[in-house]
Structure 1
Amino acid sequence: MPPPAPAPAAVRIVGRGRAGGALAGALTAVGWDVEVVPGRDATTADGVDLVVLAVPDDAVAEVAAAVGPGSAVVAHLSGSRGLDVLGPHARPASIHPLVALPTAALGAERLRAGAWFAVAGDAIAGRVVRALGGRAVEVPDEHRAAYHAAACIASNHLVALLGQVERVAAPIGVPLEAYLDLARATVDNVAALGPAAALTGPAARGDTATLDRHRAALDPAERAAYEALVHEARRLAGRV
């Protein structure tokens, strides 16, 4: 049987953006006592178990410095920042959901759907993850930037890539939807086989004639991105 959920705690979330709203909704749904402080209004680390700074990465240090002292853990949701930005507080933590949060409502659902979280610092970070039914991975300060870069590649860069698919296909009358099942199946293949074994296509098999036809067909504005990813595909296939 799975371990019992940790006892609910009292949480104060500073910030009403998508991340803060998503976490507030998710923790409220599992029975935690959640208070949301609008914007970056001044607050203290008293009267709750955990204060979460749900503010942009570059604002974490400033907001942390403005939080009055107290016994609560003070945590941030930043993927790229370490614990050092919470320097004024004796019990720092970080809890970064490895989840796309396009809206607070959808984000709250995703945070409770077995999501991965990068955690560091005080043990309450892991307690939050367990309460949400998630999976935690410890990422120390010196690896936070690389961890977050990989997250951006997996999510933001994938969206940008599909934007290129849409641009290339639209003039020939093929909708983006026609390619999405291909993309989903490819991600499933990576999950089942790993990236190298899942790779198919002309770059993987060394079909330079087909690659040349692609180059000739592409708008010049699309070629740089195409060439960069052909190189990465050849690298993954061991052809570079």
Structure 2
Amino acid sequence: MKPDVAIIGPGRVGQTLGRLLFQAGYPVVAVSGLREESARAAVAFIGSGQVLPAIPAAESAELILVTTPDRAIPYVEAALVYSRLRPGAVVAHTSGLLSSRVLEYVRNGPGHPAIASAHPLQSFARPEEAVERLAGVTWALEGDERALAVLEQVVLDLGGRPVRISTDGKPLYHAAASVASNFLVALLGAAVRLGESAGLPREEVVPALLPLVQGTLANVARLGPVEALTGPIARGDVSTVAAHLGAIRASLPDLEPLYLAMGRETLSVARRKASFPHEAAPELERLLGRG
């Protein structure tokens, strides 16, 4: 029998998970938020539950999901410490950065619930779109064994891939996600600036680059980062790298540190390719600096 669920935090993540859980047969019995109108909107989107303050919401469920921003989790914890949770309850938050340790006081409170963190490795721009994109997503789980057993089944029921990580590894896990998602956007922003400076019409730069980016991602998925790497550094083309740097210094000098930093990391990956001409490495190191 699937546990009753309470959602504390009626934002994008709470709405998305609430609807998907309800669709998967989990009774979503309560939603709690600082603003009643936000909680009511979440209940309407989810299709189930009643609006309650945090403590009654938590006391009404067996699985309590804290889907607030990170800065609000300690306040939720402070409230739940005084709640009388059901025997066998599980309390989990969905932060990508914070570990289950932020819920330790809850675990030591009445009922001694099991605690965990469960982070879906996906962006949640709009709940209407996120509910369509969560299937197949990896979830990073850590915490108490009893909580992990429950959450692994939840993730499987939502069509996800549960992966256990270490509690101490959460910051590095979150850094990996930020590099893959946020930094990719920043890199594409730099690429757009370079394209515009080269004379490409502004409205054409992104459409021109996207097929290249999508093809690269497909190659990474198929081959892994090392074998997917192509380009001048991977083939030891010193003159092309020098030409890039000369053009960037002349037109967009503020992007030179980015090119150098990414060039050094690219060289680090390229050295692991069987096809890399290692005799070119010293000159590439000279051009790119050693960091």
How many equivalent pairs are there?
233
Cα RMSD, aligned residues only: 1.7
Alpha-carbon deviation of 1:189? Answer: 0.7
2:275 corresponds in structure 1 to none
Which of 153, 166, 180 is residue 154 of structure 1 equivalent to? 180
3-state SS in 1 of match to 2:243: helix
Normalising by structure 2, report the TM-score: 0.75
3-state SS in 1 of match to 2:54: coil
2:84 corresponds in structure 1 to 69
Alpha-carbon deviation of 1:58? Answer: 2.8
Gaps of 5+ in 2: 36-52, 272-280, 286-291
Alpha-carbon deviation of 1:29? Answer: 2.1
1:138 aligns with 2:164: yes
- Structure 2 Cα separation of the partners of residues 163 and 28 of structure 1: 38
- Structure 2 Cα separation of the partners of residues 21 and 157 of structure 1: 27
Task: Judging by fraction of residues, say which structure has more helix.
Answer: 2
Deviations 1:55-112 (A, max 9, x none): 122321221121223122111001111111111223112110011111112112222x
- Structure 2 Cα separation of the partners of residues 98 and 39 of structure 1: 26
Q: Larger Cα Rg: Structure 1 or Structure 2? A: 2
- Structure 1 Cα separation of the partners of residues 34 and 240 of structure 2: 53
3-state SS in 2 of match to 1:233: helix
> What stretches of structure 1 move > 6 A for 4+ residues in a row?
none
Deviations 1:10-45 (A, max 9, x none): 211111222112111221222222232123853243
The one-letter code sitting in structure 1 at the alignment partner of 2:232 is: P
- Structure 2 Cα separation of the partners of residues 195 and 163 of structure 1: 21
CA contact (8 A) 2:6 2:60 kept: no
1:4 corresponds in structure 2 to none
- Structure 1 Cα separation of the partners of residues 193 and 156 of structure 2: 42
1:109 aligns with 2:135: no
1:43 corresponds in structure 2 to 55
3-state SS in 2 of match to 1:13: strand
Normalising by structure 1, report the TM-score: 0.91
- Structure 2 Cα separation of the partners of residues 181 and 29 of structure 1: 35
Deviations 1:159-200 (A, max 9, x none): 111111122212412421111111111111111111111111
The one-letter code sitting in structure 2 at the alignment partner of 1:217 is: A
CA contact (8 A) 2:4 2:26 kept: yes
3-state SS in 2 of match to 1:120: strand
1:208 corresponds in structure 2 to 238
User: Once the two structures are aligned, what percentage of the paired residues are identical?
Assistant: 39
1:53 aligns with 2:66: yes
3-state SS in 1 of match to 2:59: coil
The one-letter code sitting in structure 1 at the alignment partner of 2:167 is: D
1:23 aligns with 2:17: yes
1:220 aligns with 2:288: no
1:237 corresponds in structure 2 to 270
1:12 corresponds in structure 2 to 6
1:78 aligns with 2:101: no
2:190 corresponds in structure 1 to 164
3-state SS in 1 of match to 2:118: strand
- Structure 2 Cα separation of the partners of residues 134 and 42 of structure 1: 27
Of the two structures, which has the highest relative contact order with CA contacts closer than 8 Å and spacing of 6 or more? 1
1:99 aligns with 2:122: yes
The one-letter code sitting in structure 2 at the alignment partner of 1:103 is: R
3-state SS in 2 of match to 1:36: strand
